[in-house]
Structure 1
């Protein structure tokens, strides 16, 4: 082996040793640990709630967070089912930013003195809520999982302005029409509709409501018309 080759090998070994020493020194220094944690992307969850679920703190190693990001994300989902996934990024070298991707909240149901959130797919979360949160509708009479999944998907298709105006949705089926719905609106009106057509017809609600001189009923079950509460129809 030539002297030049030996010199190159020796330099490479020294470089590798230096890298290992620097890495070990880094792991033992405060620079390797998380300094501050911030949370972005939460809608119905609290930032501290997410941090607690990840079990990350100012003693966590930054490199460990990124090596374990999938397991941290999965563990957080187990504790907070509305969390779809997490991703992480660093800021100012030591600050950790947790980006939260949540399943969409599509409403609430009331059972045994508590409210429960319903997310994408009609899944009901187990977390108990003492009072309604956000501007979400409350569903009543949809006892089967398949019914709840269907009605939340229907609500998801409402125009944004109509979603924000929707207070409660009731299963008001009859022998004549097993698909009948009643909807209470935040503006004081009520809607009668058919679950098979309501997703398309609710786009007409704002226009109809704006022409009503009194609060009343917007009937979308067959046609599309309105009448005041005191009208005998």
Structure 2
């Protein structure tokens, strides 16, 4: 049986040698390292916070980032659970863009002298904050299961209602274990039932607009309002 001989032309050999030399020179120079890092898609996370979690800096090479992008993504998402997904894109041969998709923040709970963020899957992040960030509500007195239920209800409220919610309180009674209270940013308070609050809160803006004085909007059974006692 005859063996086929692979012949490489002189020009091809020269090209391969030059290519290898250029490749070695590139990876041995500063041109192969990341020059600028741009983070897109962050809302509640800081850009630098994301960069620090990826451990990518100006000593990292673009080739290494692209080669290990999957493991870098997994480690970053583990360190920052509020990140739903993360991807990398290069341009200009030296610049890197990190695209982030965050899990929505649904509010904060206060415990141990600090505030902890609640994200869209009901998970409470371990990162302790001295005060809440953004225009999100706080939750008080809820069990873990009720907290998840209440935060999911908040997530599906109309945007004009969500931005007005300041704090949710678990306020059960013997007659109604599902009773809650809500402080609104406009100064009003709401009394409601967890089982019906999602459908009833959509009427809040209209009811609040008709109130001549700040007071309570009771949505627990019916839907009516009355001014705070002692307020003129």
Q: State the TM-score, normalizing by the size of structure 1.
A: 0.91
Partner of 1:99: 99
Structure 1 residue 11 displacement after superposition: 4.4
4+ residue runs over 6 A deviation: none
Cα distance per residue 1:192-231 (max 9 Å; x no partner) = 1111111111111111111110001111111222111128
Q: Secondary structure at the match of 1:126?
A: strand
Q: Secondary structure at the match of 2:181?
A: strand
- Tell me the C-alpha RMSD between the 2 structures: 1.9
Q: Secondary structure at the match of 1:34?
A: coil
Partner of 1:74: 74
Q: Return closer, same or farther for 1:74/1:6 CA change in 2, 3 Å cut-off.
A: closer
Partner of 2:161: 162
Q: Secondary structure at the match of 1:184?
A: strand
| CA distance in structure 1 between the aligned counterparts of 2:228 and 2:132, rounded to whole angstroms | 27
| CA distance in structure 2 between the aligned counterparts of 1:195 and 1:17, rounded to whole angstroms | 72
**Segment of structure 1 superposing worse, 34-43 or 184-193:** 34-43
Matches within 5 A, 1:168-179: 168-179=167-178
Partner of 1:137: 137
Matches within 5 A, 1:117-136: 117-136=117-136
Structure 1 residue 13 displacement after superposition: 4.2
Structure 1 residue 188 displacement after superposition: 0.2
Matched, 1:54 2:54: yes
Cα distance per residue 1:157-193 (max 9 Å; x no partner) = 1111111110000111111111111000000000111
Partner of 2:202: 203
Matches within 5 A, 1:107-118: 107-118=107-118
Between Structure 1 and Structure 2, the one with more helix by share is: 1
| CA distance in structure 2 between the aligned counterparts of 1:71 and 1:115, rounded to whole angstroms | 30
Name the count of aligned residue pairs: 227
Cα distance per residue 1:96-155 (max 9 Å; x no partner) = 11111111110100001100001112111111100121111000011x321111111011
Unaligned runs of 5+ in 1: none
**Segment of structure 1 superposing worse, 37-46 or 189-198:** 37-46
Partner of 1:183: 182
Q: Return closer, same or farther for 1:207/1:84 CA change in 2, 3 Å cut-off.
A: same
Matched, 1:216 2:215: yes
Structure 1 residue 70 displacement after superposition: 1.3
| CA distance in structure 1 between the aligned counterparts of 2:13 and 2:218, rounded to whole angstroms | 82
Structure 1 residue 14 displacement after superposition: 4.0
Q: Secondary structure at the match of 1:76?
A: helix
